[in-house]
Structure formats: structure tokens, C-alpha cells
Amino acid sequence: MNDFSTDRWERLTELWRNKDTDSDKDAHPLNTEDKRQFELLFKIRQAMQGVQCRQYDIERGWRKVKPRGVFRRIESIKRFVAVIVIGVGVAAGVWMWQERALDKKDLVLTSFVPGVAHAELILANGERLQVNAREEVYASKTEGVVITNDTAKTRVRYQVTERAVVKRPGMNTFVVPKGGEYTLELSDGTLVWMNAESSLRFPEEFTRDKREVYLDGEAYFQVAKDSLKPFLVHVDKYCIRVLGTSFNVSAYSGDKTWYTTLVEGAIAVGGIGNEIRMSPCEQLCIDTDSGQCELREVNPELYTSWVGGKFYFKAYTFEELVRRLQRWYDFDVLYRDEGIRQRRFSGVINKYRPLGEMLEFLEMTSDVCFELNGKTIIVSKKK
């Protein structure tokens, strides 16, 4: 998947933070005021991501910034950044007014660190294996079952060899808790990226005529092609039928809407009256209360960016945005003003950054403020 242009800006900020060890020895570091102004401009640019329709030539801009005289030509950098923020001077003024107050905020919010790679594999025989980025091989009591872990890719592989003795296949369960993520490779070669607070049930061994799994939560599938054995993803009473393709399913218990987003290939969704066939770049939205469906065209990257380390939100309600962050950073939320739930936000963030940075960004771009009480974040309107 392609990264968003914000990655270029993150690389740019690495320069002014003096973390780029390849910088020229003759380069002059930015002073404190330069850094503060540059950081402000970067956050303004983040705020405009997904809101404005205008597109900017980031590659061309980066080429202007990257030459070895980058720090000696800081004025040129500022002029380049200034072009991007034309038309948002009012917002800049507001943020500059808030800057002093934000500097005084308690930095305890940074204690909410991003999630990490960990999960639990519960085998049909009752064995429970803690999967993390350290262990490499797991022993199973079931003959012919081999479980290995690629720590570099944070991917656990479940294999069934010809020596496997499975009379009546039971169900294994792969569980990813809040604040976690992991990738599972099934015995047929299908890859499943599991998001936080999600689980996948799959048989010890697939049958001869089909491959069935059961999902609760969110996962991105790359299904191994096998025209003789269709791949079936069950989500409650719904079923997604696949031959070989890539798609994302977000179906958390308690969510008002479930989403199936097709990246490539073809799938069909049943259990909703007539089976609905989907084409690439289409998304099926199912209202979990009424059962009503909507098939629409979308940019799949908006809904699969979490696999590549980004949270991309476009016109999300504040409640939807917070629910997504809760699963990753593992915190509780309390609203002092119920009207905040329906506010809409757009943007893109790196999900491996501390939560405090995200909340500061939201405070700078809205009239919402945050307080911390233990693991609970209290949300209210600015006075």
C-alpha cells in the first residue's frame, strides 16, 4: 500500500528535530524559535489534510528542502511551507494564541503509549500460546501441527503437515486484545492482519470443499487462490464468499455499522437477502440494527491504512474517531458535553506516535479540550 504524503512531512520534521544523522557536518541547526514555528506550520498542514481539495507537489517541495544546504537555507524552507498554509492564517493565529496554554499542560497524556505486537492463540485442545515479537517456535501437542513465529514480520504461521492426525477438526481462536495487533498465516497460505480487540476462529484443518473462518472485530485478508475451495468469512449472520482476493472487514460487536471494503479481486456477501457481489474499490455498509445495506465506491486506502501504520479518518464523527483510538491506546472516555460526539474531523496520523500528540492536535484544530483522570480521558468544550 502506498504511504500518504504526510510521510514526507514526517521526514521533514525529523530534520529540524536533529534526528537525521546523515545531515552535513557544516549544516547549522535550527534555533528554538525556528523549531517552534516549523512545528506549528507542520501541525497546520496536518489539520488541512483531508479537508482541502487542493493538491500540492510534495515531491517537488521535498527536493527543494533536502539538498545539503538544508539548514543554511532555512529561509527557503519557510517560504515553501508558507505556500502550503496560504488561506489558513486565521487558524494559525488561533493556534499561536493557544500555544502558551498548551505548553503548560500536564504531559501525563504521553503515558498512553501506542499498541504493540502481541496476541494469543487458543488451540482446539485447550492450549494457550502467548504470541509476541520474541518467541519463534511453539510446540503443539497435536501431531502434524507446526506453529512458527516470524518475529521480524510479527506474523505467526499455522501449518498442518501430511502427518496431521485430526479426526474431528476443532476450532482454534486467534485473539488480539486492546492495544495489540498481529498477522496470522493460515494453513492454506492466506494472510490475515488482525487489528486491536479482534478475534478469528478457524478450524484445525480446512475441509476438502471449503475454507471457513469466523471474525469478530477488524481484519485485512489476503486470500490464497483456490478455485476448488472457496474461502468463507462469517461475521455474525453474514457471510463473505471469496475465491482469492484482498479485502478489509470491520465488524466490531457494538458498532452501529459494519464495513466490508474490497481492494482487489471479487467477493460476494450473503445473509442479507439476495447475495451482493462486489468489485474492487467498493464498500458494503450494513446497519446492524435494521440490516439495511449500502454499496458505494470508496478509496480502499482510507479503510486499510491501519495495516501500514496509519489512521486515516475522513469526516469521522468524534465518537467514531475516539472509538478507533480506544482500541489501540486502551483508554476510557467521558463526555462532559454530549454534542461533541457528533463533531466531524478529517486527517491522517501515525498510529505509533503517543496519544498525547493526537490529543494536542485535536485541541489545536477544534474547540475541544481534554483532562486526564487515571485511565479515563474527560472530553469537554473550551470555555
Q: Indicate which CATH number applies to the domain containing 128.
A: 2.60.120.1440
Count of domains for the chain: 2
Tell me: do 295 and 369 sit in the same domain. no
Residue that terminates a domain, selected from 256, 283, 307: 307
Q: Pick 97 or 324 by higher pLDDT.
A: 324
Q: Which residues contact 360 (CB under 8 A, 6 or more apart)?
A: 102, 105, 109
Mean pLDDT of 190-199: 97
Question: Per the domain annotation, does 49 fall within a domain?
Answer: no
pLDDT at residue 334 is higher than 80: yes
Q: Which candidate, 238, 209, 240, 248, places its Cα nearest to that of 226?
A: 209
Question: So what's the pLDDT on residue 96?
Answer: 45
364 is a domain residue: yes
Cα–Cα distances in angstroms (integers) from residue 201 to residues 46, 264, 272, 348, in the given order: 39, 24, 22, 31
Whole-number pLDDT of residue 42: 59
Same domain? 274 vs 190: yes
Residue 92 domain-assigned (yes or no): no
Residue-range definition of the domain harbouring residue 216: 116-307
CA–CA distance, 171 with 265 (Å, rounded to integer): 28
**Grid cell digits, residue 303:** 479503510
Which of 289, 307, 325 terminates a domain? The answer is 307
104 in a domain, yes or no?
Answer: no
Same domain, 177 and 295: yes
Give this prediction's pTM: 0.70
Task: Locate 329 and state its grid cell.
Answer: 491506546
Q: Do residues 290 and 187 both lie within one domain?
A: yes
Rounded Cα distance, 170 and 382, in Å: 54
3-state secondary structure of 25: coil
Per-residue pLDDT tens digits for 121-176:
999 989 898 888 776 767 666 677 888 888 888 899 998 876 555 566 789 999 99
Q: Cα–Cα distance between 194 and 215 in angstroms, integer? A: 10
- Distance from C-alpha of 153 to C-alpha of 373, rounded to nearest angstrom: 36
Q: 127 with 140: CB under 8 angstroms? A: yes
Q: Are residues 276 and 341 in the same domain?
A: no
Query: 295: closest CA among 264, 272, 320?
Result: 272
Residue 93 lies in a domain: no
178 and 277 housed in the same domain: yes
Last residue of one domain, picked from the residues 258, 285, 307: 307
In a domain, 60, yes or no: no
CATH code, domain with 366: 3.55.50.30
Higher pLDDT, 123 or 70: 123
Res 76: pLDDT: 47
Residues 19-39 pLDDT 10s: 444 444 444 555 565 566 566
Say what percent of the chain tops pLDDT 70: 67
